[in-house]
Amino acid sequence: MQEEKPLPDLARIIRRVDDLPTLPRTVLRITELVNNPRSSAKDLSSIISEDQVLTARLLKLVNSSFYGFPQKISTVGGAVVLLGFDAIRSLLLTTSIFDLFSDRTRKYKFRLEKFWDHSLGCAVGAKIIGRRLRYEQLEELFVAGLLHDIGKIVEMLFLPEDFARIDALVEKEKYLMITAEEEILGYNHTLLGELLAERWNLPLKLVNAIACHHNPLASERYSQEASIVHLADILCRSLDIGSGGDNRVPPLDMNAWDILDLKTEDIEPVVNEIEGEFDDVRQFVSRSGL
């Protein structure tokens, strides 16, 4: 009888990738602040103002045509009041994450752009589904959708030999990427994404949505959030927005469908909104130089 191989120590594996980027300290402080109900707009403005790069970026974003405010916003405090805590975190986290990987994209530039398009589409989709469900913290859903496949980007940039083998297997067998990952690595992008989110000290809700977007019921406490990202992922794949690394649409988890309690007739308007809003967000990202 063949002896079973022990499961890989994923924490050790990801620690060995010693150049894995970390989020700017200011962004981590902003995340902590947004999660603290005692925080004020003044507290948030003070932290952002300490970082010249984030200050410039925020003012550039809030004054872009994407928002279309009638008058120029010249202070961080004014931006915070207009956009709100969650939107500020979403914007700065999004732009910071794009920056983290921007210097590593030459070899995989086209592939990475396709991954980011899919991630942006899923972010938009998660927010739209949340809006239909009257979910309160829509910006958290946007970030969860944006980061749901971050583990695939880790594979591409930090485990290139394994990624090439996964890619080849996807092409040869027409597998879902997650199936090829399991066969080659013994684990998949959701676990890498979970570990990276934990390393970045992101809220548990986001960590769970990333870890469980293929199996929302496993999230338990945050199964609704994971189910929203799960459905957004499927809809974006069916719309051919970007690329999830393969040319297939994952099956819908019926447990997720039951958790969301949506009706079949809800899907068409959601799809139409995703198509419309994705174009706006994609142009906004391009104009912002991300």
pLDDT(243) > 90: yes
**Mean pLDDT value across residues 164-168:** 95
Q: How far is CA 18 from CA 15, 100, 159, 199, 202, in A?
A: 6, 14, 12, 12, 20
Question: What is the reported pLDDT for 11?
Answer: 63
Element (H or E) spanning 286, and its range?
helix 267-287
Q: What percent of the chain has a predicted confidence (pLDDT) above 90?
A: 50
In tens, the pLDDT along 86-136 reads: 888 888 888 788 777 765 656 778 888 899 899 999 999 999 999 999 998
Q: Is 49 exposed, middle or buried (0-12, 13-18, 19+ CB in 10 A)?
A: middle
pLDDT(196) > 90: no
Output b/e per residue, 104-127; b: 16+ Cβ within 10 A: bbeebeebbebbbbbbbbbbbbbb
Concatenate the DSSP letters of all residues of 22-71 into one string: ---HHHHHHHHHHT-TT--HHHHHHHHHT-HHHHHHHHHHHTSTTT--SS
pLDDT(287) > 60: no
Domains of the chain by start residue, with CATH: 23-103 (no CATH), 106-290 (1.10.3210.10)
Q: Is 272 exposed, middle or buried (0-12, 13-18, 19+ CB in 10 A)?
A: exposed
Question: What is the reported pLDDT for 163?
Answer: 93
Provide the whole-model pTM: 0.86
Q: Which of the four pLDDT bands, split at 50, 70 and 90, describes residue 73?
A: very high
Q: What is the mean pLDDT of the chain?
A: 86
Question: What is the reported pLDDT for 3?
Answer: 44
pLDDT(279) > 60: yes
